[in-house]
Amino acid sequence: MQSNDLGGENMQITVRVPDKYGDRLNRVSKQMGVRRSDVIRLAMKQFLEGNGDTDRQPPYARVRHLLGLVESNVRDLGQSHRKYLIQKVRKGSR
C-alpha cells in the first residue's frame, strides 16, 4: 500500500474491463483532464457511498426504486379500495 496526498493509504487493484469500457474511460479522462485512475476512484466512491453500502441506508432508501406513484383521481382510494375494486369487477362482468 502507498500513502496518498490525504495522509491515508491506497490499495493497488488490477481490473480487466471490456474494450468498450476502456475506450469510454479514455475519452472521459481526456475530456475531464484527469488520469484514468482518478475517474475510476470517483466512480467507485460514488457507487460505494451511494448504492453499495445498503447496511447504512435507511429502509426507505433501500426500496425507493421499487416504489411508484399512481394517480387515480379518487380521493379515498386508500381507505375505500375494496369498495372501488368491487365496483370495477361488477362493471366488467356486465
* pLDDT at res. 18: 94
Residues making up the chain, counted from first to last: 94
Residue recorded with cell 399512481 = 70
Q: Return the domain boundaries, the chain.
A: 2-69
Q: Quick one: the chain helix, strand, coil %, rounded to 5?
A: 55, 5, 40
Distance CA 46, CA 31 (A): 19
Q: State the fold for domain 2-69.
A: Arc Repressor Mutant (1.10.1220)
* pLDDT at res. 26: 96
pTM over 0.75: no
Grid cell of 22 as nine digits: 476502456
Q: pLDDT (tens digit, 0 to 9) for every residue of the chain, 94 residues total?
A: 444 555 578 889 999 999 999 999 999 999 999 999 999 999 988 888 776 555 677 887 777 776 655 566 677 777 888 888 888 888 876 6
